[in-house]
Amino acid sequence: MNTYFTFWHYDAVILITLGLIALIISTLRRPNLTSKASIIFTYTIVALGFMFGALLVIDSYTKKITLSNVDDYRFLPTEKIFFTGSVRNSGNYTIGEVSVEIKIINKDSAALKGKPSYQSNAFAELIGDGRVKPSYLIVTEVVATNLKPGQRQEFRIIMPHPSYFKGYTSYVRAFGQ
């Protein structure tokens, strides 16, 4: 059972839909309008935009997630990075899916200067490795479903550690859907 919508979401959808229906009826009742179809189309597009914006605003207030106890360690034999921690629903409504996004960035000079990729060194190019390698890696996983208010869920995410990284900096964020 996915609980994406709260009653606030339903209220916003119903109110905007009722407003759209009232505008359409008032447009159709005016006999002297020549381009009723274009006016109704414009009303519909504006109503969909309002609905999308309202759902985003309601999401920001109803889906509050706290990320805590995040720890990472590198397991050298398999070249993997293990991230552990917990997510907690700190809002008042059930969250359908809680996802955790982890971004690791290579600690080389190109990545620190904000460049999007890492170019291999001259020796590697001499032996034929001229490929462009990414300077970051992003992994997103769903760690909890139907998280009730106040409930906490532990997670563990395993991601690869690229062999050309000279160390890494990690950024972790959680979000609900």
pLDDT of residue 163: 82
Give domain limits for the chain: 7-62, 65-176
Buried b (16+ CB within 10 A) or exposed e, 131-151: eebebbbeeeeebbeebeeee
pLDDT of residue 87: 92
Which residue from 57, 40, 45, 50 is spatially nearest to 15, judged by alpha carbons? 50
Dig out the tokens for 145 from the structure: 């479903």
- Angle 36-62/7-29 helices, nearest 10 degrees? 170
| CATH T-level topology, domain 65-176 | Immunoglobulin-like (2.60.40)
For the chain (177 residues), the mean pLDDT of every run of 10, in chain order, is 73 94 91 85 94 89 87 86 91 86 78 56 57 78 88 91 83 86
The position carrying tokens 């985003």 is: 56
Alpha-carbon span 81 to 64, nearest angstrom = 27
pLDDT of residue 1: 42
pLDDT of residue 148: 87
Taking only Cα atoms into account, the Rg of the chain, rounded to an integer number of angstroms, comes to 25
pLDDT of residue 114: 58
pLDDT of residue 116: 54
pLDDT of residue 3: 60
Sign of CA pseudo-dihedral 55, 57, 61, 67: positive
